[in-house]
Amino acid sequence: MIYRIFFLLLFVALLGLYKLFSSSRTDSRIDRVLLSNPIILDVRSPAEFQKGHMDEAINIPIDSIEFVPLNKFDSTRPIITYCSHGVRSIRAVGLLKSRGLKHVYNGGSWEDLVTRLEDHKHRSAK
């Protein structure tokens, strides 16, 4: 019985941490950045990217980011990163900023960013 309670508490704690990193870490400035014609960077694996992705996204897996030449990015455009849950996206922002890029934002999960883009398009159409 005590083991069940322990594992239940552990599960709840892990679920809470997952929620913390997958949603609350999405950059609050994304809505403004969407007005700036951002580069959308999908940091998932090529296999995940092939299963589905945003039309305008560029796929650079998280493990490759530190090897990509920075001149690959248009320095006049901000970069929004996304992945499947938001954790790799947070890491990608840190890696790109550590390499000198300044305007890099966490878009969180693919689903969250798609929802924000759709909301942005609806507001722009009005």
pLDDT tens string 73-83: 888 999 999 99
- Phi-psi map region of 52: left, alpha, beta (phi>0 left; psi -120 to 50 alpha): left
Q: Tokens 């960013």 sit at which residue?
A: 113
| pLDDT on residue 22 | 47
pTM, two decimals, is 0.76
The rounded distance, in Å, linking the Cα atoms of 17 and 14 is 5
pLDDT at 11 over 80: no
Mean pLDDT estimate for the chain: 83
